[in-house]
Chains A and B, each alone.
Chain A
Amino acid sequence: MPTVNLWATDGYVGTPDGKNVYIWGFTDKEGGAAQLPGPAIIVKQQPYLIPTVVTVNLTNKLAEPVSLVFPGQGEVRVNGQPAQPQYQGDKLVSFINHALPGETITYQVTLTGPGTFLYESGTYPHRQVQMGLHGAMIVRPPDYLGLHPEKQTAYGRNTGTEFDREYLLVLGEIDPGLHQSVEHGLPYDTGEFNPRYRTINGKCWNGTVSGDGDGHLPARPYGSMIMMEPGEKVLLRCAGAGFESHPLHPHGNHARVVGLDGKLLQNCGISGTTDLSFKRFTILTGPGQTCDLIYTWTGPGYEPDTNPIPTRLPQIRKMALAPTGLTMWSGSPYLGVKGELPGEIESCNQIGEYHFMLNSHGVPGITGQGAFPGGMPAMIAVYPAGTLEPHHGMLPTESHTP
């Protein structure tokens, strides 16, 4: 059974406008700095009828109590006892047993089934979860087998949730005023919550278009640059870790919602349709909610010689390009073709891949510090067939099993 060691500690994250924001967060490296979001806990469920119990040892390096709640999971035991809310006198401190500063506490969590979930602090959550004490938990089905066409699924074989690549998108907000008050021990009012930054995996545009393990953003190891090939099924695991709802619109196609809150969308009765998944062009992830989406883009198959695009493009030099200083465009309308962009334009395009925005439709969800662009646009990059490694974008099958 998997065992995860987490430390609750502090750290800093940078913002696109050059500020350093103080955070609290989790790390799975002893002595490490806080990560935003916390380390993804990825576990594989035991075969049918065998309970899967994950052990999480939490060591608290912060100066106030910290705990862990596991929404959507089954029984939780703490240091071997049933979990209980914690009070100081008659005042609620924590939804669950916490670790005092310097203490280590052990949670044993019985999983309910495959899906995408959150874990987060249950202690003063209005402050601690906003400060960054949250992360994602992914449970793989017992028959999961990576790179197997029928067994690489979100919810198990024959559930219609096969995928070719997967990406984790933890959605959140940062109110820098609140973070600053916490850093300096000043009072604050969460009723005045004013998130100046909306984040995907802790990052704002254009950090959202860098890949995993970007050396410039060590506190935020999960990328949100979605890379795929035409026709592939891409599993997007969205988790709402903030206080707001985020309506995400993937350009280029609808997405099929296959799971909500870590539950397969399936009729529980014995009559009628079995599959209750649905397609949307805007998917709302509420606070604490998770949505598993499967996105595909096949395309109309334009080729310069055999199937040219049906319009004549204007002279590119006379058009408005790279409005924010850089472009993801190749300069060509064709997939896999690099066109000619004016020399002064800085393009991030690699091999003529197509870029489709994945953006929040709620403003100021797409602004940072009050200005566009910032916040929640990310990109879905469609690469020509056969150019991406099969494992690209894949999260590990299990994260913390020795």
Chain B
Amino acid sequence: MKVKLRLGATDGWVGTPDGGSHYIWGFVDLTGVPENKLSGFRGKAQLMAPPIVLKVEDEVYLTLTNLGTPDRKGLKEPHTIHLHGFPNQIPVYDGVPEASMAVPVTRDLVYYYKPLDPGTYLYHCHHKPAEHIQMGMAGPLIVRPRDFDPTDIEYKTAYGHGTGTEFDREYFIFLSELDGTIHNLVAKAQEPDWTNYKPTHWLINGRSYPDTVNTTDRFPGQPWPAAVGANVGERVLLRFVNLGFQQHAISIPGVDFRVVAVDAVRLQGLNGEDLSYFKNIIYIAPGQSMDAIFTAPEAPDLYPATLPLFNRNYNKNTLAGGEMGGMISEVRVYAPGTLPPQAAPSL
């Protein structure tokens, strides 16, 4: 199927639960927005960047429009989109400015790709990537298998029928860090020294706890909560992506994850043997993705039961090193039939 998408690159502001407000750069979804309405999206960058959901053999035309940075008017920063993990890409669609070109303010570039392999991928700006990724220009990307059918229990899978990756619900666990000092320097048009990179906030889906479990709609720049909900017995697919710069160790005591894929490659042997394995902690490096499935456990007298999800690097579960916050979220298990089917990932 021909898929036309459009992302805008611009700036914006996000909040942390300690009352902090941080300047960001990021992407915003412009798909279907008429040309004369584009300017309304300037300054409306989102953290995490809008998830992209594709299907195997889609012909994807992804337009990047550089809307500029209204809160730093003098800055004329070009941007790109790097589709991280897509095999056999060519340089003009790969988003590396040193090997092709970047998009200046007011300009567009169309990136094309035809994904052939399902999985959890990621995308980010590759212009001065240390700065642009840290500033927020990063998001997750799903490629659905060719036979994906959300209405058929055997075909609602991560990697295709018969691959042992059936799921009932799916959630992004998109990990990143935010160094408040660096964001502040960029807001004031000063050059950060990356050797001094020292995150103050650790984020899941662009938010720090307790904002991660706040499902009200009061975060225009951070539209994605990270609370995971499921009815008891349902299979929950967690799509882990790490686009921070540190390694992270995510745990949910009380559930075993079955790791079914790493870096969008299903864990199978040369002859198709199932090589998936169980883990209690997902240890994930920057630039990696992992798909893990768990079954929502029984808790008869407790529904909805709450299972904490957190980073076993406990020092990342804080707000600027103080109170508990950061990379913490919750899994809520409901009585059978409580939650309706999901309309989209993480909803």
Contact = CB atoms under 8 A, between A and B. Distances in A.
Scoring A299, A319, A359 by chain B CB atoms within 10 A of each residue's CB, the highest score goes to A319
Interface stretch (B129-137, B150-158, B164-172): B129-137
B287 A282 contact: yes
Interface of A: 194-196, 245, 247, 249, 251-254, 272-276, 278-282, 284, 297-300, 302, 309-314, 316, 318-324, 326-329, 333, 335, 354-357, 359, 361-367, 369-373, 377, 379
A247 B262 contact: no
Contacts of B262: 278, 280
Nearest to B91: A354
Contact of B102 (A253, A273, A320): A320
Given A196-B195, A275-B270, A300 B129 contact: no
A317 B9 CA distance: 21
Nearest to B108: A314
Interface of B: 59, 61, 78, 82, 84-85, 87-92, 94, 96-104, 107-112, 114, 126-131, 133-134, 191-197, 245-247, 262-265, 267, 269-271, 273, 275, 285-289
A363 B109 contact: no
Contacts of B133: 363
A367 B129 CA distance: 10
Given A194-B195, A323-B98, A314 B107 contact: yes
A248 to B, nearest CB: 8
Given A272-B269, A362-B246, A372-B128, A356 B94 contact: yes
A374 to B, nearest CB: 9
B45 to A, nearest CB: 19
Contacts, number: 189
A361 B131 contact: no
Nearest to A349: B99
Contacts of B130: 363-364, 366-367, 372
Given A279-B263, A314-B108, A299 B99 contact: no
Contacts of A367: 130, 194-195
Nearest to B271: A273
B174 to A, nearest CB: 15
Given A247-B286, A367-B194, A369-B195, 20 more contacts: A249-B287, A251-B82, A251-B94, A252-B87, A278-B262, A282-B287, A297-B88, A299-B90, A311-B61, A314-B108, A314-B109, A319-B104, A323-B98, A323-B127, A335-B90, A356-B96, A362-B245, A363-B134, A364-B194, A370-B194
